[in-house]
A and B are shown apart, each in its own frame.
Chain A
Amino acid sequence: MAHFLLEFTIFGTHVCPWPWLAYTIAGVVHVALILNLVAISALVFIWLERKISGRIQDRLGPTRVGGKFGWLQTLADGLKLLTKEDLMPEGADGMLFRIAPYVSFCASIAAFIAIPFAGGEYPWIAQHLNTGVFFVLAVLGLEVFGVILAGYASASKWSLFGAIREAAQVVTYEVPLGMCVVVPVLIAGSMDMVVIGDRQAGMFTNWLVFHDPFTFITFWVFFTCAMASVNRAPFDLAEAESELVAGFHTEYSGLRWSFFFMAEYGSMFSVSILASILFLGGWHGPIPITSMLGLTPENGPMLGYLGQLAGLANVLLKGVLGVCLMIWVRWTLPRLRIDQVMTTCLKYCTPIAAAMFLGATFWHYRLPEKNFFGLLDVPAAVYEISEGWDNESGKRNVESRMATSEPHAKLGGL
């Protein structure tokens, strides 16, 4: 965006001749967009959660605030939270107690920096990282840090129990989560999320969840582990109300408490978007309507922009659907015990993920040019987007599959 601002001219004069201003504006716009996305999505998700849980339990949920469907309920909740007294326990570690909600919230937001919302040649992404998947995983693991700080600093046994449970759970579930993420990375041949998303261009048959039976199972293991790693029911041991009052946020009230809540909904949304980009085609809809209508950058910037907008809508819609799935699971299944949570991860998820990783590797080795359970061919255009070893000199790998380099192909493989 900074380059765009620098090159943008009206009647031959540069709108923004200073690089520092261009970079500042670009940064501020990106940060504002991401912050608002997380805040507003949290607003919507909290309302959605109350509404869906009401319907699941044969209630109506919120109905009054804002007229129909009670859609302004969260805003009213927010106003109530703003006016609450800001309490801190007497024995608490003041600095850590105050800083913990922000740590959680920052980690939750930082993941969005590297998540693309539309791909192609000009991806909509705040910071296009070469190893985006890895960055997102690393940052998502940091959210637990705020929880542990909160649990320790509250000087309350309920908080500490909740925090230690959360720590054990998140650290454990990172193992199968990482293993599941490796599978799409392996098939796309890149850690770049834009490349992984564009590997699934075209019909829904190209989505990696349908690539082979192993990736299909991997997707569900990934979703389970993601649900556990963002600390959602049935894995919400850290805030088990029936045992620990409210877990790590027992001592928090008002705005500080709502920061934890926003962090939780933010990371629910980010893991859902991550799942949609890795497995469900990301910004590519089930049927490529935008490219059928010619909404691509080749047909002019405005049409390309419309196409990217449709991609954004796709990513957000898939993310919201993922969150709805999490809400559905939460209000359907009872909470697991801590030993059951550990068993689910170590005795089921990890071995399944490992076996699926091996299976997907073997499948991809045997049938590298097949999609949709080995029934269809991978479109020829997809090969061109797989990342070559050198983008700078233009020696991109067009013919050889995955990231095998051009000189390498001359030697006849490894």
Chain B
Amino acid sequence: MESIYWPSFFFLLFSLVACGFAVGVLLAQNIVRMAFYLVLSLAATAGLFFLAGADFVGAMQLMIYVGGTLVLLIFGVMLTSQDRFIEMKTWAGDWVKAFLAGGAMLFILISAATSVPAWQGLDRAEAEAVSVSKTATPLGMGLLGARVDRFDQPDAARRAGMSGYLFQFEIVSVHLLVVLIGAAYLARAKRRRTLSVAQTD
């Protein structure tokens, strides 16, 4: 038991769950089961984030992706609850195309991940020496426009380039607000042009 490095064990466990259910999404033919597997896969990804000490990103993953899939599931049930759509068959040609595209993507990702020296994993001794620190506060301060890590930066030129993310954050928020208003505008109840004539007799 001493020789097992437990963070690696849990990493493998969570990634196995995530990948396994991702394959489940592909193989399932029922749209609700697909959504269920997708939720489990995304929740396991959130587990990976928690394992890495990124609480905020993990909770974000749960809230946005898992919660978002929930809405997807509702629409899936509501809009496709006819028999024709609820069971979906994948044709052989689709499998071939998907394998080609997915395999090429996987090849690029794996070769990229293994070829960059800075991305190689640490030795166990090195990894055990690293202490996981909580990072949410500097991130939040950065979004508010204050880069708290810039004060530690000795290089003056670099320090000048490190500004907060308030502007970008605001642009994204205003953009989302516009999208929301636009969606509400499109989905609003249309006013009837003609009034129905009262029935006689």
Instruction: State the A residues within 8 Å of B (CB).
Output: 18-21, 23, 93, 95-96, 99, 129-131, 134-135, 137-139, 141-142, 144-145, 148-149, 152-153, 160, 164, 167, 171, 191, 387-392, 403, 405, 407-408, 414
Contact = CB atoms under 8 A, between A and B. Distances in A.
A131 B141 contact: no
Nearest to B133: A392
B148 A148 contact: no
B interface majority secondary structure: helix
A149 B67 contact: no
Contact of A405 (B32, B63, B141): B141
A167 B146 contact: no
Nearest to B31: A152
B32 A149 contact: yes
Contact of B148 (A144, A164, A191, A407): A407
A145 B36 CA distance: 9
A130 B136 contact: yes
Interface in B128-143: 131, 133-134, 136-138, 140-141
Interface string B6-34: 10000000000000000000000010110
B56 A148 contact: no
B85 to A, nearest CB: 14
Interface stretch (B73-81, B90-98, B110-118, B185-193): B73-81
Contacts of A392: 131, 133
A interface majority secondary structure: helix
A117 to B, nearest CB: 19
B156 interface: no
Q: Which of A131, A153, A391: most chain B Cβ within 10 A?
A: A131
B48 to A, nearest CB: 15
Given A20-B2, A131-B56, 5 more contacts: A138-B62, A171-B74, A392-B131, A407-B148, A407-B151
Contacts of B55: 129-131, 135
14 contacts: A20-B1, A20-B6, A130-B136, A145-B66, A152-B32, A167-B71, A191-B136, A389-B138, A389-B141, A390-B148, A403-B137, A403-B140, A403-B141, A414-B144
Given A149-B32, A414-B146, A135 B138 contact: no
B70 interface: yes
Smallest CB-CB A-B distances: 9 pairs: A138-B63, A407-B151, A138-B62, A135-B59, A130-B134, A389-B148, A134-B59, A130-B136, A405-B148
Given A96-B33, A137-B63, A20 B4 contact: yes
Contacts of B67: 138, 141-142
Interface in B49-65: 55-56, 58-60, 62-63
A148 B146 contact: no
B49 to A, nearest CB: 11
B74 A167 contact: yes
A144 B141 CA distance: 33
A126 B200 CA distance: 72
Given A138-B59, A387-B137, A407-B148, A96 B32 contact: yes
